[in-house]
Structure 1
Amino acid sequence: MDTSAAQDRAHERARERFVAPLAAAVGAEAAELGRVAEEVALAYHESGQEPDFEVRTADFATDPFFVCADRYWRRRFADSPSAHTALACGRWIAAHTTPGCRSAVREQWTLGNGFINRAHIETREQLDDAARAVTGDPGAADLALTVLLYHAGKLRANFAFDELNAVLTTSALAVAAGRRRDDPVVLALRAFAAFGSRALTAEHARDLLERAWSAPQRSRHVVDVCLNGLAFSVPFDGQGALLRRLAQEAVDAHPENHMFRFRLATAHHLCADHDEALAHVDAALALLADHGTFSRDLLLEQYLVKRDAIQEARLRAAREAEHEARWRRQEAANADLERAMHRSSVRAVELVAVFTSAIAFAVGSLQVTLSGTLKLRDRLWLLTALGAGLSLFALLIVGGTWLITRRRTRR
């Protein structure tokens, strides 16, 4: 009886120390909510206790309990970025989250902490040990999925496309995950790996992307991974247009998401639509300023690098357009000059033909007039025939020249 009372008092003190401040932070401003959640998470971590409250949402803006648990597990992963920590996290998720938010919490913590701890990559043997550790557990598939997503988050952050594909399809963890391998987030990660791999085809990657994108239970993380894979894909025909269409859908569904806006800027950049790309990357920067995420500095650097690339491409396109216009003007001027020279040559030929005929007529008429014993009437007929013949010769030269040059001009 005394032991039970002591446990009740200890539980009450723990509740007053940990849970009460979180409950009081409900409805607080984001900065205050985050401060309280961080303090409670640190207290849990230093005491060696895991949070013992229930998480009902995956909302960073309004749920201090979720934010506290997120900060706690971030510290746990930082201390030991291993598959065993992922297993412990998976068991906590199974015990302390409601079914409605469980998948969102799992994806947030595994992919997010995988990105943070991307420098620590476990061997296939260590992953196999983790797979054996969940064997026989009632929630074995979910636990295996948690560890699988955590390791996949590391490989994704390191752009290890082929290794990521192998882990997701052939590892013992993938086998242990069973039917959960068909979850949209796993399909999205497989699409990411296929888009970046030079051993897999773009058609295979697009099939996986379509399956993940069209899934009824598609989450925000699934959208992010799909767009990420398209943005970093080995180039293929239609890449920019496909990314632009899907990123626009994501922005329409999540207008306040800076990452989706950034992906849309990347799509317009790939499509050489530099003004739209610049507008969307500036919108992403503005949205990022309103989000106090731990990775804001890293994302800010990434967005600014992309903005510089868009600006450079925009200036280069403007210079190329100017050079193109100048080249076309020069080409038109050269064509005008060529036509003028051609006309001059034709007129010169015609003029030579006329003058030749005139000179021939003059010489011939003088010979007829000044020599011979023909009568005047015969001389006149002879001069007329000579003039007609030379005129016909000149007309044939002029007409033939006109006909030839007319056909060339048409071509």
Structure 2
Amino acid sequence: MDHALIESTLGGLAAANSRELERRCDRIASSYVREQVEPQFDVNSADFERDPFLICADRYWNHRFRDEPTLVTAVACAAWLAEHVAAAVHEPIREKWALGYAFITRDSVESAGEIADATGDIVAADDSSCNKAYFATLYHAGKLRADLYFDELALFLDASPLAMAAGPHRDSVLFRALRAFAAFGSRRATAEYARELFDKVWTDPERTYAAVDVALNGLALSVEFDGLGVLLRDRATEAVALYPDSHILHYRLAAGRLMCGEHDDALVSIDTALRLLPAIGWRVSHELLQGQYLARREAIEVARVQARRAAAEREDAERIKDEIAKLAETVRGSVVKVIEGVSIFAAIIAFAVGSLNISLNGNLSLGGRLWIIASFGGGLLLFALLVVGGTWAIVHRLSRPARE
């Protein structure tokens, strides 16, 4: 292949529109794959949208991983990165490639034997073995993450010879983010342990975009614990402030707001994620992510409708309760008034009848009659007061809970 001509062609694509750039770069990458030759140009930026050299290299390795989704390919990719990618942009490209290619080949998780064989080859290779082992570790860990194999991921990161061969890279912020992801989803790890790992990642001044994404992904998939929704919402808000153009972070924020019952805000976040999701690129990933986002949007809409319906039902229940309480109070007042009236009327009738009998009795003197009438009337008055007072006290006690 004429490598000089390809470099010249790629250099001339800098002004092409995005679709033309994608198409032309993919054609060149496919020719490299057919000829079984690796690209010889260098990559000096991490601009996956406009740099023709990076886009072509990305397409080339995408084809390679799809054709042979193995650790052998991962090692070859790591070697190419070390030789052709500028040191200033090496880390973001390595993280994006390792996890991205793992996602598109997540249905091809290698066995323990295959991992052991690859590890032996890597360790025996050369002085750059730890860099190759690190890329291969991220690639395999990315497959386990994409398949939600939480316990297997934790075991692989903590005990696999391949992960051990990564050496000092084991302390990288992305490596620790993957451990936090595994802990959040595992039912063997405690929420406190998972949050401890997460906080170390989140407060690390060297945290990368990939580490932020992986850590939030684990939090969003976590086994339920107190404060999960609030923590996800708050941390995703911070992440969106750092990376406002990331559709996946807006998607995480939508999930956190949904957990917190903030349905209107969640709808804004998921719509932003859909708007930012690129309409170009590898269609499988785009369609898969778009399906996930639309499903989350539908869940938010359903939850919002249910919340509004529940709120309306609560308002109706409170209104009916108030009306019943008012009606009961009115009925109690009416009963008290009736009892009071009957008691007083009965006392008057009894007094009138009793007084008439005493007045018609000619055997008593006038003073005696007046004394008897006064005593009899006082007794009836006291009786009426006791009946009225007792009725009021009973009704007041029964109506107190309703008022409270």
TM more than 0.5? yes
Deviations 1:155-195 (A, max 9, x none): 11111111111111111112111221121111111111111
Deviations 1:24-45 (A, max 9, x none): 2234332232222212211211
Aligned equivalent of 1:14: 3
After TM superposition, which residue ranges in structure 1, 4 or more long, deviate above 3 angstroms?
A: 289-294, 403-411
Match of 1:340 among 319, 330, 341: 330
| Residue 81 (str. 1) matches residue 69 (str. 2) | yes
Query: 1:59 and 1:362 mapped to 2: Cα distance?
Result: 108
Aligned equivalent of 2:270: 281
Query: 1:305 and 1:64 mapped to 2: Cα distance?
Result: 34
Match of 1:400 among 359, 374, 390: 390
Contact 2:279 2:286 (C-alpha < 8 Å) held by counterparts: no
Using the TM superposition, give the Cα deviation of residue 118 of structure 1 relative to its aligned residue in structure 2, in angstroms: 0.7
Contact 2:19 2:280 (C-alpha < 8 Å) held by counterparts: no
Cα distance, 1:275–1:291 mapped onto 2, change above 3 Å = farther
Structure 2: gaps spanning 5 or more residues: none
TM (norm. structure 1) is 0.92
Aligned equivalent of 1:142: 131
Cα distance, 1:289–1:118 mapped onto 2, change above 3 Å = closer
| Residue 264 (str. 1) matches residue 247 (str. 2) | no
Query: 2:101 and 2:172 mapped to 1: Cα distance?
Result: 20
| Residue 103 (str. 1) matches residue 94 (str. 2) | no
Query: 1:213 and 1:347 mapped to 2: Cα distance?
Result: 71
Aligned equivalent of 1:187: 176
Cα distance, 1:320–1:240 mapped onto 2, change above 3 Å = same
TM (norm. structure 2) is 0.94
Larger mean Cα displacement after TM superposition, 98-107 or 369-378: 369-378
Secondary structure in structure 2 of the residue aligned to 1:134? helix
1:108-187 matches, cutoff 5 A: 108-136=96-124, 137-187=126-176
Query: 1:293 and 1:72 mapped to 2: Cα distance?
Result: 13
Structure 1: gaps spanning 5 or more residues: 1-9
Larger mean Cα displacement after TM superposition, 142-151 or 333-342: 333-342
Using the TM superposition, give the Cα deviation of residue 351 of structure 1 relative to its aligned residue in structure 2, in angstroms: 2.5
| Residue 299 (str. 1) matches residue 289 (str. 2) | yes
Using the TM superposition, give the Cα deviation of residue 407 of structure 1 relative to its aligned residue in structure 2, in angstroms: 4.5
Query: 1:111 and 1:125 mapped to 2: Cα distance?
Result: 22
Using the TM superposition, give the Cα deviation of residue 219 of structure 1 relative to its aligned residue in structure 2, in angstroms: 1.5
Contact 2:191 2:225 (C-alpha < 8 Å) held by counterparts: yes
1:216-295 matches, cutoff 5 A: 216-289=205-278, 292-294=281-283, 295=285
Query: 1:289 and 1:370 mapped to 2: Cα distance?
Result: 111
Query: 2:120 and 2:202 mapped to 1: Cα distance?
Result: 32
Larger mean Cα displacement after TM superposition, 365-374 or 157-166: 365-374
Using the TM superposition, give the Cα deviation of residue 291 of structure 1 relative to its aligned residue in structure 2, in angstroms: 5.2
Aligned equivalent of 2:340: 350
One-letter amino acid of the structure 2 residue matched with residue 356 of structure 1: A
Using the TM superposition, give the Cα deviation of residue 115 of structure 1 relative to its aligned residue in structure 2, in angstroms: 0.6
One-letter amino acid of the structure 2 residue matched with residue 159 of structure 1: L
| Residue 317 (str. 1) matches residue 311 (str. 2) | no
Secondary structure in structure 1 of the residue aligned to 2:291? helix
Cα distance, 1:291–1:359 mapped onto 2, change above 3 Å = farther
Larger mean Cα displacement after TM superposition, 169-178 or 20-29: 20-29
Query: 2:44 and 2:194 mapped to 1: Cα distance?
Result: 34
Query: 2:123 and 2:362 mapped to 1: Cα distance?
Result: 131
Larger mean Cα displacement after TM superposition, 196-205 or 285-294: 285-294
One-letter amino acid of the structure 1 residue matched with residue 10 of structure 2: L
Contact 1:196 1:233 (C-alpha < 8 Å) held by counterparts: yes
RMSD between superposed Cα atoms in Å? 1.8
Contact 1:141 1:177 (C-alpha < 8 Å) held by counterparts: yes
| Residue 205 (str. 1) matches residue 190 (str. 2) | no
One-letter amino acid of the structure 1 residue matched with residue 191 of structure 2: A
Using the TM superposition, give the Cα deviation of residue 372 of structure 1 relative to its aligned residue in structure 2, in angstroms: 5.0
Using the TM superposition, give the Cα deviation of residue 340 of structure 1 relative to its aligned residue in structure 2, in angstroms: 2.0
Aligned equivalent of 1:7: none
Contact 1:184 1:213 (C-alpha < 8 Å) held by counterparts: no
Using the TM superposition, give the Cα deviation of residue 275 of structure 1 relative to its aligned residue in structure 2, in angstroms: 0.9
Secondary structure in structure 1 of the residue aligned to 2:363? coil
Larger mean Cα displacement after TM superposition, 225-234 or 358-367: 358-367
Identity of matched residues, % = 45
**How many residues were matched structurally?**
399
Using the TM superposition, give the Cα deviation of residue 149 of structure 1 relative to its aligned residue in structure 2, in angstroms: 0.7
Query: 2:165 and 2:276 mapped to 1: Cα distance?
Result: 40
Query: 1:169 and 1:345 mapped to 2: Cα distance?
Result: 78
Using the TM superposition, give the Cα deviation of residue 197 of structure 1 relative to its aligned residue in structure 2, in angstroms: 1.1
Contact 2:347 2:381 (C-alpha < 8 Å) held by counterparts: yes
